[in-house]
Structure 1
Amino acid sequence: MLARLLIATALLAGPATAQDKSTPQDPPKRVRSILLYGDDKCPAAQNPDEIVVCANAGESPYRIPKRFRDQPKEDAASQAWTNRVETVEEFNRAGLPNSCSPVGTGGQTGCTRKFLQQWYQERLDAKAKAARTTAPDPDAGTNP
């Protein structure tokens, strides 16, 4: 068992026999990187000291990639009628009573209402946050 391990280690430590010692190990003098589109063919090297690297870049350099084509539309025609009606109603509320708008005679009444609703919601959020952070510990007993 030990002899096999020593033989395997000696074989791995030696030089690789597949390398040809007669050819120099210099890097190539020229490397060309080419992007191919569609059915283009990779050109051959012009001389032996040149390496040509080709990569397929898709159909065309001027065409939108397939993953970006046919995205779902978000224009008005692609929306549900309910969303369209809500948008129109919100837009037409300007100037009406309770709209909080500087346009029209009844806009100021909506601002007070809006501020009161915002204050009430902030108060509810603060109470909920306080209840989460100061939850009593069942193992702690009573506080003095």
Structure 2
Amino acid sequence: MTMTSAPLLALAAALALVAPALAQDASDAPAPSADGAQKISVLVTFGDEPCPESTGDEIVVCAQKPESERYRVPKELREEALEKKANRGGAWGAAVEDYDQNVASVGRPNSCSPVGSYGSTGCLAKALREWYAERREIERAAKDD
């Protein structure tokens, strides 16, 4: 490398580092600080409670619910709990059988588990059990309709 090409290489390297910064426009500028940002309050009032008034840069979003809902679990969560309870119901014997098939059998012959040397032999049996259970549900739903 000669003495005249070294400064040119340094200049080219400096321009290569600065070029992306020069290519940015004002729309890529960082967002302004939170000092001038608006405050948004979202709240729920019950019964005859008034919604608070907004002040200055504050935006107030207020939902009104009946007084009977004040100390209750929200309806969405209640429905979710009922769905879980309906799916979980059944006899203790069925729960024990389910435990025996899914938890206690890991590593045993015909277990369909990656744990242990017998895991692969039970995968077909497990798939068939699931298929038969699904068919029973479909038939039960067809009878109910």
Q: TM-score, normalization: structure 1?
A: 0.30
Structure with the higher fraction of residues in helix conformation: 2
Q: Which has the larger radius of gyration?
A: 1
